[in-house]
Amino acid sequence: MFYRVKVKDHVRVPPQDFGKPLEEGILEELRKKYSGFIDKNLGIVISPLNIESVGEGVLIPGDGAAYHEAVFSMLVFKPELQEVVPGFVTDITDFGAFIGLGPIDGMTHISQTMPDFVSYSKDKVLQGRTTKRSLKVGDLVKARIVAVSFKDPANPKIGLTMRQPFLGKEEWIAEDLANPKQAQAKQSKGKAK
């Protein structure tokens, strides 16, 4: 989910930015520091948005830069367990599908792509044996987040499922909405396997 968060930090404004309006210089430095920053508590920073307040500047001998305490807001993406997210298929492999969620990709294991026996073809297509549903690169989907790991902060992992009714490729969702009883029956049949 995307959030707007408020943060307080000390920002170093280098001497070459002294000619700019103070808030412009601070926002530029914040964007350099935080854009793409990943933290398990904060999530993935998309970008600092605006400055709410700036404190008095302090010069540190030998540095030449000014340090200002600033309160600012940022747009962050923090994946939440059980959240349903829209995305698009960025890659298909023999073990599953990678789904672009905006600032990061999640992965759906082949067993979690649909409630059916799924096979992989060399054309990078996943196909259900019984349903004949197929999934390929570029398809728009909805998936549920079932695992989030920030164990490696530089490379967080998001596990997804599309096996539940009303999830998966947009066409599948439209079919499920047109016939909800059939969608529930497919789900029950998939659990029995």
CATH number at residue 94: 2.40.50.140
The burial of 76, by beta-carbon neighbours within 10 Å (0-12 exposed, 13-18 middle, 19 or more buried), is given as buried
Rounded to an integer, what distance in angstroms lies between the CA atom of residue 146 and that of residue 165? 15
* Residues 73, 90 within the same domain: no
CATH number at residue 58: 3.30.1490.120
* Residues 24, 106 within the same domain: no
pLDDT computed for residue 191 by the predictor = 53
pLDDT tens digits for the chain (193 residues)? Answer: 899 999 999 999 998 888 899 999 999 999 999 988 998 888 899 999 999 999 998 988 888 899 999 999 999 999 999 999 999 999 999 999 999 998 899 999 999 999 889 999 889 999 999 889 999 999 999 999 999 998 888 889 999 999 988 899 999 889 888 887 776 666 666 554 4
Domain end marker among 77, 111, 129: 77
Domains in the chain: how many in total?
2
pLDDT computed for residue 122 by the predictor = 86
pLDDT computed for residue 160 by the predictor = 97
* Residues 28, 111 within the same domain: no
Rounded to an integer, what distance in angstroms lies between the CA atom of residue 132 and that of residue 6? 48
Helices 180-192 & 170-178, crossing angle to 10 degrees?
110
Write the DSSP string, 25-92: HHHHHHHHHHTT-EETTTEEEEEEEEEEEE---EE-TTT--EEEEEEEEEEEE---TT-EEEEEEEEE
pLDDT computed for residue 178 by the predictor = 87
**Interior/surface letters 8-43, b for 16+ CB within 10 angstroms, e for the rest:** eeebebeeebeeeebbebbbbbbeeebeeebeeebb
Domain end marker among 23, 58, 77: 77
Rounded to an integer, what distance in angstroms lies between the CA atom of residue 79 and that of residue 44? 9
List the structure tokens of 109: 């294991």
Distances (CA, A) of 169 to 21, 158, 173, 174: 48, 18, 6, 9
The domain of 64 spans 2-77
* Residues 88, 73 within the same domain: no
**Interior/surface letters 163-173, b for 16+ CB within 10 angstroms, e for the rest:** bbbbbbbeebb
* Three-state SS at 178: helix
